[in-house]
């Protein structure tokens, strides 16, 4: 597992920008490949994100499974083809389209199944977002953001989809359990984009393709495709993005939770007892049924 190190500025203090971390390649069968990122590799600066998988799926891969204590988020990239079928114990049976986002706030517990429709090629991010302890026992709920509901920022050399939260004066979908901004952006060669990171927010940035240059508080990081980095929480600051070739990037920003947790697969609870109680409830069928 790749690990990050402390970053020292020229003045000798701790810098805002983290190291560039490569995703770990992950393959299951012949229908699923991914670049996998886990919070351990970022030394706390990925918080509240627990995990991100940048994946391509062309065949059913995962059986129905339980989530608890987190939000399980699927962000479909626009170059996906076909539908991504999502069924969950909240009673939903949703065909996600290219460019859609589905946010399952599993909280006290919910199970789902995701699989590509026949002939589909799903290119997406699967994101686990931690929930603070006070929200881990709340009833599960979901949010579906459709592609045509997403505002787009377009300017010289950039096109940025504001999936969640806000960038500048542009407001995307809100109503996630905790405030979250998610940008799905494209830079032309020589293009640039700037996002103001509010006070107390951390950011996670990923180069989906191309080569991304990130500048913040006098520091600079260069991300090749498949690499990610972070911006530590602090005072308000500008995150300036540049590209010397066509580049696709993702930026996610939120307040860090900074609480201890126990993780067992897709369950992230406050204590071991919470995990065991949730698993026992699932075995008893307490979280409903996935639609047939």
* Tens digits of pLDDT across the chain (292 residues): 232 333 232 222 368 999 999 999 999 999 999 999 999 999 999 999 999 999 999 999 998 899 999 999 999 999 999 999 999 999 999 999 999 999 999 999 999 999 999 999 999 999 999 999 999 999 999 999 999 999 999 998 999 999 999 999 999 999 999 999 999 999 999 999 999 999 999 999 999 999 999 999 999 999 999 999 999 999 999 999 999 999 999 999 999 999 999 999 899 999 999 999 999 998 888 888 888 7
pTM for this structure?
0.92
Interior angle at CA 131, CA 45 and CA 275, nearest 5: 110
Residue 106 in any domain: the answer is yes
Residue 292 in any domain: the answer is yes
The burial of 63, by beta-carbon neighbours within 10 Å (0-12 exposed, 13-18 middle, 19 or more buried), is given as: exposed
Give yes or no: residues 80 and 60 share one domain: yes
Residue 277 in any domain: the answer is no
pLDDT at site 292: 76
pLDDT at site 208: 98
The backbone region for 113, taken as left when phi is positive above 0, alpha when psi lies in -120 to 50, beta otherwise, is: beta
Residue 20 in any domain: the answer is no
pLDDT at site 14: 62
Residue 5 in any domain: the answer is no
**d(Cα 99, Cα 125) in Å, to the nearest integer?**
11
Give yes or no: residues 89 and 166 share one domain: no
Give yes or no: residues 181 and 292 share one domain: no
pLDDT at site 134: 96
Strands 180-187 and 170-171: unpaired
Q: How many CB atoms lie within 10 A of CB 13?
A: 9
In the numeric block, which tokens belong to residue 17? 């920008």
* Residue 181 lies in domain: 150-259
**d(Cα 241, Cα 222) in Å, to the nearest integer?**
10
Residue 272 in any domain: the answer is no
Give yes or no: residues 163 and 240 share one domain: yes
CATH, residue 247: 2.60.120.10
Give yes or no: residues 132 and 200 share one domain: no
Residue 273 in any domain: the answer is no
Residue 11 in any domain: the answer is no
Torsions phi, psi for 31 (to 5 deg): -120, 10
pLDDT at site 285: 85
HEC string of the chain?
CCCCCCCECCCCCECCECCCEECEEEEECCCEEEEEEEHHHHCCCCCCEEEEEEEEECCCCCCCEEEECEEEEEEECCCCECCEEEEECCCCEEEECCCCEEEEECCCCEEEEEEECCCCEEEEEEEEEECCHHHCCCCCEEEEECHHHCCEEEECCEEEEEEECEECCEECECCCCCCEEEEEEEECCCCEEEEEECCCCEEEEEEEECEEEEEECCEEEEEECCEEEEECCCCCEEEEEEECCCEEEEEEEECCCCCCCEEECCEEECCHHHHHHHHHHHHCCCCCCCCC
pLDDT at site 1: 27
pLDDT at site 4: 30
Give yes or no: residues 136 and 173 share one domain: no
Give yes or no: residues 159 and 104 share one domain: no
**d(Cα 249, Cα 2) in Å, to the nearest integer?**
21
Give yes or no: residues 207 and 255 share one domain: yes
Give yes or no: residues 288 and 229 share one domain: no
């Amino acid at each position: 597992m790749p690990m990050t190190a402390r970053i020292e500025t020229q003045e000798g203090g701790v810098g805002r920008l983290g190291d560039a971390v490569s995703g770990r390649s992950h393959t299951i069968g012949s229908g699923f490949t991914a670049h996998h990122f886990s919070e351990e590799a970022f030394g706390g600066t990925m918080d509240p994100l627990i995990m991100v998988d940048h994946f391509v799926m062309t065949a059913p891969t995962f059986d129905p499974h339980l989530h608890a204590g987190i939000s399980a988020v699927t962000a479909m990239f626009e170059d996906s083809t076909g539908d991504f079928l999502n069924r969950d114990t909240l009673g939903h049976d949703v065909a996600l389209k290219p460019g859609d986002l589905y946010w399952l706030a599993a909280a006290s517990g919910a199970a789902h199944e995701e699989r590509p429709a026949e002939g589909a090629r799903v290119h997406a991010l699967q994101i686990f977002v931690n929930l603070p302890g006070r929200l881990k026992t709340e009833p599960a709920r979901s949010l579906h953001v459709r592609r045509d509901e997403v505002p787009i920022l377009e300017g010289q050399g950039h096109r940025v989809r504001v999936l969640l939260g806000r960038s500048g004066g542009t407001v995307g979908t809100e109503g996630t359990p905790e405030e979250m901004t998610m940008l799905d952006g494209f830079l032309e060669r020589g293009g640039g984009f700037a996002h103001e990171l509010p006070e107390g927010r951390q950011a996670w940035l990923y180069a989906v393709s191309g080569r991304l240059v990130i500048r913040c508080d006098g520091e600079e990081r260069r991300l090749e495709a498949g690499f990610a980095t972070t911006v530590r929480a602090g005072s308000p600051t500008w995150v300036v993005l540049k590209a010397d070739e066509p580049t696709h990037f993702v930026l996610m920003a939120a307040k860090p939770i900074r609480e201890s947790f126990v993780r067992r697969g897709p369950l992230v609870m406050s204590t071991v007892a919470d995990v065991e109680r949730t698993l026992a409830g699932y075995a008893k069928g307490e979280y409903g049924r996935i639609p047939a």
